[in-house]
A = this chain, B = another copy of it.
Amino acid sequence: MKTLFTFIPPEELKQDLIKSFPDEDFSFCPEIEQAEKEIQNAEVIVTYGEDLTEKHIEIANKLKWIMVTSAGLEKMPFNAIKNKGILVTNARGIHKIPMAEFTFGLMLQHAKQFPVFKKQQQEHLWNQALPIFELSGQTMLIVGAGAIGGEIARLGKVFGMQTIGVNKGGEDRQYFDEMLTLESFITGLSAADYVINILPSTSETKHIYHKHHFEKMKNTAVFINIGRGNAVKTEVLMEVLQEKMIAHAILDVLEEEPLPAEHPLWDLENVTITPHVSSHSKLYLPRAFEILKHNLRTYTKKQEDYLNVINIEKGY
């Protein structure tokens, strides 16, 4: 049985996999182009999820299962996959720890003025007279109260914060003091010190934040986007930040990625830009490979206990 990778895993993980499944045939290709020759013989494809097209699915005559080692599935050719009855699993659940850590790091960086202290160090300046805030007692509005939002709320409660969550139907979730629906979330904006967007990209969530949403926020509020860049138009963010409607925006995702080098957003004083890395972690692939190995064992033993099976109709 051939398992085809459309990326090259780190040597340690590769060797561990080969050792764990000595009877299986693994092919590791650096990119989908090099994998195309072998795709007809692959029963299993392991991919980051952004390279497979309808054409690949059409020619993959033996393909039974696609393991996506990420959580984003927007680019998957689900129609072709559905027609052929191919199983899809992903690595959801492994993002919540690094993304929640990243979010708290960014919030604390803002509250504790670390970039200003860094500048003072460069200037050899010992100056204590900066306003330093606490997370304790502050309110977070977490727009997207799934696994990642729940982990952020869990940490928030431990830091003594108020947590308001937003999901489609406004159902109660653990670690949230209050829940709002996607339709009513605008009512939570005025209470929030931190507005954290973790919505996935769907037709409902595209450009969901308009200028009037930011007008509702406190002028001391911080907007953090670690979800999808198209939740808000870059030109809206530019206006909001230039007019200082809020104190700061922290953007790990943007409508256009990479953000073009000449874009004026880079230079605004009240924005922090990171290059879509909130889920990055030295532990990311080891965790994804644990799921892969579990599912490979299930596959080879013809069992049914797959982890993270995707509902092809729903796309998640």
A191 at the interface (CB under 8 A from B): no
Choice from B117, B125, B127, B136 contacting A97 with Cβ under 8 Å:
B136
Nearest-Cβ distance from residue A242 to partner chain B, whole angstroms: 17
Given A117-B274, A124-B266, A133-B282: A105 in contact with B97 (beta carbons within 8 A):
no
Choice from B114, B130, B266 contacting A121 with Cβ under 8 Å:
B266
B residues near A118, Cβ cutoff 8 Å = 115, 118, 272
**Chain B proximity mask over A258-280: 1 for CB below 8 Å, otherwise 0:** 11011100100000111111001
Interface size on A, residues (CB 8 A): 52
Interchain CB contact under 8 A, B134 and A282: yes
Interchain CB contact under 8 A, B127 and A275: yes
Interchain CB contact under 8 A, A101 and B111: yes
Interchain CB contact under 8 A, A257 and B130: no
- State the A residues within 8 Å of B (CB): 97-98, 101-102, 104-106, 108-109, 111-112, 114-115, 117-118, 120-121, 124-128, 130-137, 154-155, 158-160, 257-259, 261-263, 266, 272-277, 280-283
Q: Which 3 A-B pairs have the closest CB atoms?
A: A105-B108, A126-B258, A124-B261
